[in-house]
A and B are shown apart, each in its own frame.
Chain A
């Protein structure tokens, strides 16, 4: 089993630019989660997919954020018109079943200048 992978691992962008991150879950995991972690804090939930359906979104997910999981496999998280406050680590996790443990990827560290 390969683990959860995320790409890119690091991204530096200028304020106002759009960025897109990708997450590949563990194969056969039908549930995929996005979290955001700022410095000195624990991860905070952003959104969750079961297969291709986006079933829950946090209030943290402003209208500049959009996430997709078009075929129920990999997912993308796009941030439009980035702001300095978007600088954070974006973590992806996956699991096979609600009762199971969420397995995390290495994260994408975003720096908005």
Chain B
């Protein structure tokens, strides 16, 4: 079974600085999707960024970028120029691309605090 591990339950960062959130996963599949979702307090979960495992290039969305290390099964999220609105729970998630389950498998999440 696939598993996703977020080993840091909480992190804090100063506004305008850079922070990296770590995620590791376990799978025997060669192709899959990885996601970072953000869940602000009392608000719905929204997609931050997604990576397809067959793509060598790391995904980037504005201030958000990933470091995808397929051999190490590592998928970290870097937030540059942190803003107060980035404060939220961040969840790393995995999903197969083909065959079988379409479910997302989530990590336990990490609470990010942004200090002014």
Q: Residues of A at under 8 Å CB distance from B?
A: 3-4, 31, 33, 35, 40-45, 48, 55-56, 58, 91, 93, 98-99, 101-107
Contact = CB atoms under 8 A, between A and B. Distances in A.
Contacts of A4: 44
Interface of B: 4, 35, 37, 43-47, 50, 91, 93, 97, 101-109
B101 A43 contact: no
Given A42-B108, A56-B101, 18 more contacts: A3-B44, A4-B44, A33-B103, A40-B108, A41-B108, A41-B109, A42-B106, A42-B107, A42-B109, A43-B45, A44-B106, A56-B103, A58-B103, A98-B102, A104-B37, A104-B45, A105-B44, A107-B44
A1 B96 CA distance: 27
B102 A104 contact: no
Contacts, number: 52
